[in-house]
Chains A and B, each alone.
Chain A
Amino acid sequence: MDARASARLPRSLTKLLDPEPWLRFLRDTRSASKPKRPADQVHGLDDVPPAIVTGLVGLQHVSLVRIQLIYPALVLQMADLPPATSVNLLCLAMIALGIASILQSWPRGPVGSGFLCPSCHTGIFLEPSLAAMKLGGLPLVFGMTIMAGVLQTALSPILRRIRPLLPPEIGGLVVFLVGTSIAAIGCRYLIGVGAKDPVGREYWFVGALTLATTVALNVWGKGQARLFCALIGMMVGSAAAVATGVLPTTAFHALSELSWVAIPRFAHNGWSFSPAMILPFTVATIAITLKNIGDITACQRINDAGWVRADMGSISRGTLANGLANIFAGLVGTLGLTPSTASIGLQAATSVSSRVIGFAVGGILLVFAFLPSLTGTLILMPRPVMGAMLLFSACFVLISGLQTITSRMLDARRTLVIGLAIASGIAAEIIPTYAADIPAAIEPIVSSSIVLGTVTALLLNGLFLLGQRQRVTFVVQPEAADADAQVEEFFDAAGRRWGARADVMVRVAFGIKQAIETIREHCDPQGPIAIEAQFDEFNLDVRITYRGAPLEFPDQRPSAGDIIETETGHLRLAGFLLRQNADRVRTWPKDGATVLEFHFEH
């Protein structure tokens, strides 16, 4: 490490440990900016839908959330517990899910994104939890889940500061990988891969009927039919499963042994911690934090037709809610939670995103926690029906991730970060045996497509950040015939290197070309024009230095007559366009030269 880097490290650590971001975060009031309601939205964020709609849409979300109970179920299977104990732990998981969903939808104070953003279990925590299970049993799984929650809680107020390490395209990548993972599980369930017994035509018929019903209602359905497409699809599929024997009636016998009403017992064998599990759980926490950013960004886009940039306020509050929910999940005895990307996909599909439904989802989950037999019926959902539901939701998740990735300009470095991460994630998904001979310590990292893809992207992004300049300069001769082409080429390359938003870079290029044209035509420039641009995730500042007369930036456009008849009118039009094009513009003299500065919010 060189001397400058050595000096920077303590400063960086001091900044990270500074309590001020936390205090500011706790004082923070919610954004006052009003989102633009999408034209096709049926029930928007602040709407209160009719009770029946709230209940049924809530049930659709609960059905999706419930599918992810497969992850704690897999870990509980490994623990080989008596059925009653397993059902009790699943009921406790429902309590954690209910509390988490309510926390996420909370519209006031420092906790909660304020969106309809139900929580669910996640495959991201599966591999680390299985490893913890092998090493220390359920107490270690629950203890490390608490650690993950504490870590995510600590990350929430400093997300803005560490944003260069977690750029939006990597958030989009994580959502995309979650989409591929959900789609892969959906496909396996749909065609019967991994089923206990061999499957046949009836099984595939049930899956195809469920998918076809849901898709048809979503695409061609109107009103209530489109709203409840997933629920209707599940009901049609489940009925077909009973009729065809895919869901045998004997399966219902297990329910008879469960009580109708029972208070979940907060009783398990406690919590433990192991240094060996810190790395895999830390990586999983970073992955779910990135996923959190992507999920809440997707909620923002669904609820704001005029969305241009991520609002870090709701992202931080949502991340804090998820961190606290994970501490609670570990305390009651279940695996780590995350916003349900499939539910967000369902919101996009049905155009119903009222946060009231988030509270309803939480309420339904809490009620189910006290009704073991009802929770048991959820567990009876036939595999092909689950597969169809997961595949349907995965479509919207995949596209949401791709949209976030492609909203940024990507140069060769960023293309490689995303491309190699996707390739490694897909490799983990389709060649699961490749991790067979690797050391046990890193197995939880390379076994999960989401975790491996995220780690690949973070490492490459960190590597490529080394030596990357956020400040770039160039000089242009005002009379050069290709001055505009030079400006376009320069800012296109810079935008790709920075991963900047394409629409902002178009505004920047116009501003600089218009400024150079105006200086050349009206300011009698002496010598070259120097251009310096500086970028961080939230600001793009361009400074132009030249020797010549200053420009003015009127806040009123000159009249058409003034523009046509006088040079002053034309000059004032140029200044007006420059002022309108940037978010802030100013000019001042410096050492006999004139400096123009344009600020663009990013």
Chain B
Amino acid sequence: MKLVEAVSDDVTIVEAYGRLDSTTAKEFGERLMSLVHSGRSSIVLDLKNIAYISSAGFRALLIAKKATAEREGKLALCGVIGEVKRLFDIGAFTEEFLICPTQADGIGKLRQ
């Protein structure tokens, strides 16, 4: 898995590439936690390049969401499309997360 980070003022944008499953969830979770612990708790996570997400991936996302909330920040997701969107739907996760169509929408929501 590859994570590409960019900063837009107070919001950190993370683009994830590859798969989000039990073999990558630990590395993914640790990277997001380190961002939160360094004070960057407003995160837009772009999933458009994620080809596959399993239950371990969803768990990592829930942990990241909880961690940002504990630091009075927020996690927004964007690029939830195709097969990943289907899995969010069948897992009843679309209401669980703040999901935006694009990175710009996500940044806007976090700044409200």
A-side residues, CB < 8 A to B, are: 481, 484, 506, 510, 513-514, 517-518, 520-521, 557, 560, 563-564, 570, 573-574, 576-577, 580-581
Contact = CB atoms under 8 A, between A and B. Distances in A.
Nearest to B83: A506
Contacts of B21: 484, 513, 517
A521 B92 contact: no
Given A484-B19, A580-B90, A514 B54 contact: yes
A573 B23 CA distance: 17
B81 interface: no
A560 B69 CA distance: 14
Contacts of A484: 19, 21, 52
A517 B91 CA distance: 17
B56 interface: yes
10 closest A-B pairs by CB: A580-B90, A574-B55, A573-B55, A560-B62, A517-B22, A557-B92, A564-B62, A514-B54, A563-B59, A521-B22
A520 to B, nearest CB: 7
A143 B96 CA distance: 68
Interface in B2-57: 19, 21-23, 52, 54-56
10 contacts: A510-B87, A513-B52, A517-B21, A564-B59, A564-B62, A564-B66, A573-B91, A576-B91, A580-B90, A580-B91
Contacts of A506: 83
Nearest to B60: A564
B83 A510 contact: yes
Given A506-B83, A510-B87, A576-B91, 20 more contacts: A481-B23, A484-B21, A484-B52, A521-B56, A557-B91, A557-B92, A560-B66, A560-B96, A564-B59, A564-B63, A564-B66, A570-B55, A573-B55, A573-B59, A573-B91, A577-B54, A577-B55, A577-B90, A580-B90, A581-B90
A521 B87 CA distance: 20
Interface in B57-97: 58-59, 62-63, 65-66, 83, 87, 90-92, 96
Q: Could you say which interface size class chain B belongs to?
A: 20 to 34
Given A484-B21, A560-B62, A577 B83 contact: no
Nearest to B96: A560
Nearest to B91: A577
A560 to B, nearest CB: 5
Contacts of A513: 21, 52, 54
A506 B56 CA distance: 19
Contacts of B55: 514, 517-518, 570, 573-574, 577
A557 B58 CA distance: 12
A513 B57 CA distance: 13
Contacts of B66: 560, 564
B56 A570 contact: yes
Nearest to B19: A484
B71 to A, nearest CB: 16
Contacts of B96: 560
A295 to B, nearest CB: 31
Interface centre among B55, B65, B87 (most CB of A within 10 A): B55
Contacts of A557: 91-92
Nearest to A518: B55
Contacts of A517: 21-22, 54-56
Contacts of A573: 55, 58-59, 91
A564 B90 CA distance: 19
Given A573-B91, A577-B91, A581-B90, A563 B22 contact: no
A481 B52 CA distance: 16
A563 B54 CA distance: 13
A518 B90 CA distance: 17
Given A564-B63, A570-B59, A520 B22 contact: yes
Contacts of A521: 22, 56
Contacts of A577: 54-55, 87, 90-91
Nearest to A507: B86
Contacts of B83: 506, 510
A140 to B, nearest CB: 57
A563 B21 CA distance: 15
A574 B96 CA distance: 17
B83 to A, nearest CB: 6
Nearest to A578: B55
